[in-house]
Amino acid sequence: MFTIHEQPSNIADLNQRISELTSEIFSALSPRQESLVFPRGHCFIPNEIHQGKFYIVREGFLCFQLSDHTLLFFEKGDVIGWGDSLPTACKIVTDCDVVVDEFSKVDFLSHISNDVELSAKWAQFIDINHSLLFSFIAEKYRDEFAADPKTKHFRAGDVIIHEKEAAAEVFTLLHGTADVFVDDVQVGEVLSGEIFGAMAAAINTPRSATVKARTDCLVAVVEKDDFLNLVRTHPKTILKMFEDMSRVVISQNEKLAAKG
């Protein structure tokens, strides 16, 4: 799981441990149904729907929301739908088709009930998973839902940003790859995890380039004013923005030099 908001430095370590535990716990357990597809727009409430089942994500991303505010994203390898002890206002929604494996809770609990080591690992998994979820929830409440991102799904070939248009939003590419064009000439690319469209929004100028989805893309979108507030309150966002801009500029220069 991940979020585009500022997060404690130990989150990466906890996510790594969650990934390790998932592999260790489920390696010997067969899913009840493989490659089940949640279509774009699918929504379920963990505490009320899909009781008796849970899922492991195989492809795609799901948005975890509290009171319609996106807190984080589940990704490949994450366990979803266990649902214990979550706030009643939580729901999980898809912005693109998501592929999961379905497991039976009864079969799973039977699988680990006589294995002390697996039971201990599952208890650790639940503790870490809940710690991550509630730390994200607490952080979001602390910021009073500032800079709440929306997500948009773009098909390959769709234009995400149009050159010379007004800059009203800032984007983070959550999944996929996009190409950068100036005057219809490709000059660079945007990679998964990178912020783009920030400079024009920050200095209130028209877009200097067109960004087009090379593959299917999932993008987080923040309104310009919310992004500027986020930069003021979360300085690490500035460093991330400049790192991404530097890579794009270097890529543009290399492509232009090659064309020359």
Does the reported pTM lie above 0.85?
A: no
Name the domain count of the chain.
2
Provide the residue range defining the domain that includes 208.
150-259
User: Does residue 15 share a domain with residue 131?
Assistant: yes
Q: Is residue 3 assigned to a domain?
A: no
Q: Are 64 and 149 in contact (CB under 8 A)?
A: no
CB atoms within 10 A of CB 189: 18
Quick check: is 250 in a domain?
A: yes
**What end-to-end distance do the CA atoms of the chain give, in Å?**
43
Query: pLDDT tens across 155-209, in order?
Result: 999 999 999 999 889 898 888 999 999 888 887 888 887 888 887 877 778 898 8
Instruction: Read off the pLDDT of residues 119-132 as tens digits, 9 standing for 90 and up.
Output: 889 888 887 887 77
Do 187 and 132 belong to one domain? Answer: no
Domain limit, last residue, from 142, 165, 180 = 142
Shared domain check, 160 and 88: no
Please report the pLDDT score of residue 244 as a whole number: 55
pLDDT in tens, 106-153: 888 888 888 889 888 988 888 788 777 766 665 655 554 455 678 888
Q: d(Cα 57, Cα 64) in Å, to the nearest integer?
A: 13
